[in-house]
Each structure stands twice: as C-alpha cells, then as structure tokens.
Chain A
Amino acid sequence: MNPALSRRALLTGAAGGAALLALAGCTSAVGAQNSGTAKKGGTFLGGISTDLVPANFFTNSNAGVTTIIGLVYESLIHYPVDRLRPEPRLAKDWTISPDGRTVTLHLRDDVTFHTGRPFTSADVAFSLRTYADPKWNGQLKSTAQAITSIDARDPHTAVLHLAHPLGNILDLLEIVPIVDEKTFAGVGDGSRYVGTGPFVFEKWSPNSRLKFAKNPKYWVPGRPYLDAVDIAVITDTTSLTSQLRSGQIDYAYGSSFLDIERLEKSGKFDTIQLRGAETQVYVGTNVTAEGLADVRVRQAIAHALDRDRVIAEVFRGSGYTANLPWPKTSPAYDAQLNASYGRDVAKAKSLLAAYGKPVPTLKYSYIAKDPLLAATAQIVQANLKEIGITVALDPLDPPTFVAQLIGGKFPGLWTAYHSWAQYTPSTLTVSAYPFNALKNSSHYTSAAYTRDADAAWRQVAGDSVEARKAYTALSRDLLDGLFLIEIGVIEGRWAVSDRVRNVAYTKRSELVLTDAQLTA
C-alpha cells in the first residue's frame, strides 16, 4: 500500500466534493416561500403531467391544452361548474328564436386580443367555422357543422343560423375558445396562442414548460392578480408529487388519487375536487361477440360489478357509482334509473342461467399505462369470475387501445373513461364516439336509440320539460341496450399548496387563475 497515494486521493476527492457543494450552495434553487395573507403579484408555479399537443387544441384532451385555453382564451358564454345555467362572458346577452333556428349574440365592445386588435363578431364566425373543420376534430364538431351561416355584419352582433334546433348550442358557445384569425397559424405548431383572456402566452418549451404573463389590458378591472404563470411539464407523476411536496411548485395536475390523499393528510396541501367536470369509467362491450350478443349476459355483467369497491379503492372515494353516464348535476340524472343494476350476484347468475349457454373466455382490454384502469380491470375480472365468466386481461398501450376503440376491434370487453356527460345530455350522444348512435365501438345499433338521440339533440331548449322527457327516453335506451356498462362518475382532483388561493377550473378541467393569489 502507498499511504501517500491514499491521502492524496482522499484529499482530491474531498476538494472535488467541496467544489461541488460550493457550486451548489451559491443560490438555492429550492426557495422557500412564506405563508400568510393573500397578496397581489408574483409568479404562480405549477406542474402538469401531460404536455401540450398543438393538434389537439380543440379536443380538450390533455392538461397542456386545457391549461392554455383556461389562461389565454375565453368563450362567448360561461357555465358555472355546478349547473348548466349560462352566464355572460364575451357575449353580453343572447336570444334563441322560438323555432330554435336562430341564435343572436350581443358581444362586449371593450375586449381586445392580446395583440391589441379589438374583438368583433368576425372572430366569432372564424372561431366557430374553424372549430367545425374536421381536421381539428372538435368534440362538438357535428353541432358546429349544423350552423349553416353566421351573420357578422354588425361588429358587436353575431347571428347564427342553424340547420335545425340544437338543444346543445349553448354548450358549443361555452366550449369553443374565441381565437384570433391573424395569428391562428401559430396554434398548429404551438408557437403562438393569442386570445382575450387574463394571461398572455409567452412560450412553450416542449417537454419542459409553459410560460404566461399577466394581460395588462384585461377587460375585467383589477384582474388578474398574478404577474405570471409558469407551468412545468412533469410527466412522471411521482416526480410531480415530489416537486409539490418540496415546494418547487404549488399546483399539481396529474398526481395520483392516493398521493393527493396523502398530501391532504399532511395538512400542508389542499385538494380541489373537480365537481362538475366529471369523467366516467365504464366497461364497454362488443355486442357482436359470442356471449355478449345476448343482452342477458350484459345485464349479468352489470349486476356482477362491485362499483362501490372500484370507487372506494381505485378512485379513493372521489366519485360515485353509476348505471348511466349522467352526473348528479345533469338534467338527465334520475336516481331511480341510476340504480337499475345494483350489485346482485344471485341475479347475475340467474340471468346467465337463463342465457343457457357457457360464455366463452372474454378478452378484456384496457390501457396498461393507467394504473387506475388496470386496477379497475382486475376488480372487474374478479367480479365476473364470481358469476362464472372468465376474463383474459389484455393490457394495451394508448395508441393501440385508441386504434382498436375507434376501429371497433375489441374482441370482448374494454374499460376506459369517457367525458362530456357533464354538459347537455345530447352533447354526449352526438360527440363521444362510444355513444354514437349510428356507428360506435360496440357495433350496437338500435332504431329507438338513434331516434331518441336525435330527438334529444333537436330540442329548442336543452333544459325544457320536453328535453327532459327526451333525456329520460335516452336513459332508458342506454339501460335497455347496455352496450356500455357504466361503473361510476369520477371527480378528478388537483393538489395545491397552502401558499395559493382561489385556484378555479371550468367544466372541462381548464385551469382558471383570474382570481388566484399567492400568499405573502
């Protein structure tokens, strides 16, 4: 051994370590913030688990898109999250003609885009026409396409002429963000987002972050309070939660239900329950598959499901069981109908006995990457085993799953989420492909369902007595056909630190920070 060598090596190591520590000690990147009363100004730091996909601008399908739309853009009207009662936003007021075929919107005259250009009825026309373009795949595309013409001669009045009455026309006006025609090309590649909202888009760095600055000319006096918003893209949900716990961020969209539960118990974090912006988890069936073609087998499956267990264990109680897609805030919600298929193993077995033939092993597909769907699938598998149906789990990656869903290629069962039931009920049946009456993933067809879905859509007013009757007929069709077996209504959760106040959301889970404040 050579002691001199060891000493030197150790000294060199110590010096190197000291240098690293000195470098690391210059200015801390983990700055602590004070708690206290709300203040004006400051930068809101958040984290989301899914990055922006520019082509999905109108599809409301990922946190990147919903963050941008919530901060930068505004729509013509606004629904409070807990009900479908429209409130003015860029439109001051509106009227729908008695025949339901003309909608007249009176627009605010004090609104400008972030470029300084005044907002006019021509922007309404451009936004609605763009939304109707198939290449943008807007969820309410069919409703937008039913607008035959838009009269924008008066800059502050827009008149929409409809092909037929649209019970969900106000949903469309609530959902479509008003975009700036002059800069819209930048939306396609994620380089430019110009709206009328409280924050101005600054920059998107793919896989890294989204940056926004306060809109100093926002039409709502005194708002927003924040100077800037900085949203980091943190695709690993464990890392997302760690960064929230360490104080690097104050808001997390994408942490697991379990992590959020733990954060809440620590007393340093609050939970924002996305009530009114619900999604649903369901078991889909291919009604042409052997066994599943008989509705009694589908009814047996519906009775076998332990929905309470799924909601309690998988979604940590953040939701409630359902037999129909409608959340409790929906005009179509009917508590009695919603309890049609309670867990009843004996009844399920008797339905299978009435079917009289063995049900072959059913392939059961789900997105493997989603631990919630994987856990749900395992519970459903155990439930079906109880009544004698064997299920072979078929975990898939997201594109493969979506390709099979859209192509109607699932051989047996599948589990997924759907949305849009929190709006006017007809929005679900004309917008979500699994519910499409003419062509859907289940290969289900029914003259009654097609007729009732169309009747619900063509209502003059989406909340009238006639409309509610139409929704009841639609609910009965869904329960009778049972091509999609609902498990429950899920309310998403966001976690925020106790350093932020008044973080809000829309019915599409868009981040709203107009009234948000940091604490001093």
Chain B
Amino acid sequence: MTSYLLRRLPSLAAVLAVSSVLVFGLIRLVPGDPATTLAGANATPDAVAAIRHQLGLDQPLLTQYLRWLGDLLTFDPGRSYIIGGGIGSLVGDALGNTLLLTGTALLLAVLSALLLGPLWAGTRRRWLEHLLTGVNTLAIAIPTFVLGVALALVFGVLVPVLPAGGVPRDGLLADPSITAQYLLLPAVCLGLPVGAVLTRYLAESLRTELAKPYVVTALAAGVARRRLLFRHALRNVLPTSLTVLGLQTGALLGGAVLVEFTFSWPGLGLLIERAVTGRDYPVVQVLLMLSVTVFAVLQLLTDAAHALLDPRIRLGGAR
C-alpha cells in the first residue's frame, strides 16, 4: 500500500506546481487589484500608486511569484491585504468552520443514503417507491441558494424555531446545543443534494446487485433477503459508491461557498468570496492552492481506498 501511495506522489507534486503558476497568474488577469479596492471610489491615482507600492505590487511578477512560493514552502502564507490579519489564522478559523459544516452535511448525507438507499432498493411498496423517487428528484433538482433561502424563511422567520443564519455569539464551542441549532439549516441545505445523489446511486447499485445470479441462487437456497442485502450486496457496491462519495465531497466543498453566503456562516466560502471580490491576492492564492491540494489529496485517498478494498488494483499497479 505504501509503495502504491509513493508512486502517486510525483504526479501530485506536478499538479500542485502547475496549479501554483495558474493560481498566481489567473487572479492577476482579472481587472482591478487590491490597491484600487483599498483606495475606494474617491481616491486619487497618486493614493492608489502609494498603496500599490506599499503592498509590493509594483515589483516584477516573477519576483512576486517567487516570494509567494518561498513563503508557502516555509509555511508562512503572509498577511491579508484587505482583512489585515495573518492568513494562517484567517484560513485556520475559516477552515475549522467549513469542516464543521461540510462534515455535518456529509454525515447527514451518508446517514440518509445508508438509510434510504437500501430501503429504496429493497421496498416493493409502489407508493413508497414513488414517494422516495419524487423526494429524491426534488432534492437533487432544487438549487442550493433557493433551498437555503426557503429553509431560512420557513424555519427562521415564519416558524422561528431555528436561527435564520450566523453563528453563536459566544462561539461554536461554548454550547453544543446552541451550535447544533445554528448548524442544522446550513448543513441540511448543503447535505441534501449530496445525500440525494448518494441515495439514488446506492439504490440503483443495490438493485443491480440484487438481480445477479448469485443472489437469486442464494434466495432459492433460503438465505434471508436482508442478510443478502447487507452482508453481500451492500458490501459489493460500497467500493464504487466510495468513488461517488469522493466526487460528491468535492462538490460539497464547492457548494459550501453558496451555503455559507446564504447563512452567513464564516467559513472558507465566505472568505474566498470576500477575497476574490476585494482582489485580496494572498488570500485568494492560498485558498485556491488549498482547494487544489484538498481535492488532489481526496482523489488520492479515494484511489487508496479503492486499492485497499480491491487487491487487484494495488497488485496491478505493482506489476
């Protein structure tokens, strides 16, 4: 397994190196820069030039790139131009909030898929099948921002049982029950489409698996259907479901941007929105690189999980 992972590392490094150039270059192709953002609409060109000089933006691009790369390699991502604080702590705080949100959303999505997928695949009641199909289609089709606004309006304003957005005043760690209430609506909003996709995929895979000859033979031999479903069919479809889960986790991180904005959840999504809008180069660069790194590592882990579950992959790779 270790040699399998080691063989994948060079390609990971190449992806990150190319990404760093693209990330650094692309943000600079967008019109406007941090100096104009900081100066505002009433500033003079002289004031903008003074700010640009102060930020080091009047230096050659190669110098700026190498300085940034050096900072990254020494684990010192620098300071935000717009927000002002150290990027390490800014990203750290936001990352913690985003991980809590996406982790909860993922948990809800996986639990709902493990609960509803087998139910959907195993049921013979037409009304239940129709109900699950309808709800599942709606959950996949409804845009996140619409769902978010609807959830906030219904549960935050019309029937005010949950906060319409934000985070607890005393922080996320002060009172878990309060935190859970703030977390519930954004997590449901974020996790619902992912859970729906996973549920549908799992149900379809299980149906296919249950139609295979070994299942028919086992049923004829008197093996309980529930035992077949959970002991054999589910186990056989889990590796491919893991791939879908890996891809959906990436989508989940992307969806967090919208959900965080809708519910004022101070995570990476809000941070990157603010950084891009303000042309906060150092923050955008770090966040994009972090995003690329997380996605690449997730793919690596998904492949590793595949290799772990299917010996043919890791042995095939060794030949």
Contacts and interface: CB of A to CB of B under 8 A. Distances in A.
Interface of A: 1-2, 4-6, 9-10, 12-13, 16, 20, 23-24, 26-30, 45, 51, 53-56, 59, 61, 134-135, 137, 139, 141, 188-191, 205-209, 230, 232-236, 238-239, 242-243, 245-248, 369, 396-407, 416-420, 431-434, 436, 439
B178 A135 contact: no
Contacts of A61: 40
Interface of B: 30-33, 36-48, 50-51, 54, 79, 81-86, 90, 93-94, 111, 115-116, 118-119, 122-125, 128, 149, 152-153, 156-157, 160-169, 175-178, 180-182, 184, 225-226, 229, 261-264, 266, 270-271, 273-274, 277-279
B180 A239 contact: no
Contact of A53 (B83, B160, B261): B83
B32 A403 contact: yes
Contact of A233 (B42, B184, B264): B264
A208 B168 CA distance: 10
Given A9-B118, A56-B40, A405-B41, 14 more contacts: A6-B123, A9-B115, A27-B178, A53-B82, A134-B47, A207-B94, A207-B266, A208-B167, A234-B166, A236-B264, A239-B262, A248-B164, A399-B32, A434-B41
B40 A239 contact: no
Given A55-B81, A205-B266, A242-B164, A397 B32 contact: yes
23 contacts: A1-B122, A5-B118, A5-B226, A6-B119, A6-B128, A29-B163, A55-B82, A189-B86, A206-B83, A233-B264, A233-B266, A235-B261, A236-B165, A242-B164, A243-B165, A245-B157, A246-B163, A248-B156, A402-B40, A403-B32, A406-B48, A432-B42, A433-B41
B32 A207 contact: no
B226 A2 contact: yes
A10 B120 CA distance: 12
Contact of A246 (B37, B125, B157, B226): B157
A29 B182 contact: yes
B226 A53 contact: no
Contacts of A238: 149, 152, 262
A190 B84 CA distance: 6
The main secondary structure of chain B at its interface with chain A is: helix
B239 to A, nearest CB: 23
A246 B162 CA distance: 9
A57 to B, nearest CB: 10
Given A206-B90, A246-B156, A399-B37, A137 B51 contact: yes
A35 to B, nearest CB: 16
Contacts of A141: 47
Nearest to A1: B124
B83 A29 contact: no
For the complex of A and B, the 7 pairs showing the least CB-CB separation, nearest first, are A399-B32, A1-B124, A26-B177, A54-B84, A208-B266, A242-B164, A400-B31
A431 B42 contact: yes
Contact of A406 (B39, B79, B149, B168): B39
B42 A433 contact: yes
Given A6-B122, A28-B181, A406-B48, A239 B32 contact: no
Nearest to B81: A55
A205 B93 contact: yes
Residue among B46, B118, B169 with the highest chain A CB neighbour number at 10 A: B169
A9 B45 contact: no
B184 A20 contact: yes
Given A6-B123, A9-B115, A54-B83, A239 B162 contact: no
Nearest to A32: B160
Contacts of B225: 2, 5
Contacts of B164: 239, 242-243, 245-246, 248
Contacts of A51: 83, 274
B50 A206 contact: no
Contact of A247 (B123, B160, B177, B273): B160
Contacts of A16: 111, 115
Nearest to B156: A246
A5 B119 contact: yes
A4 B44 CA distance: 75
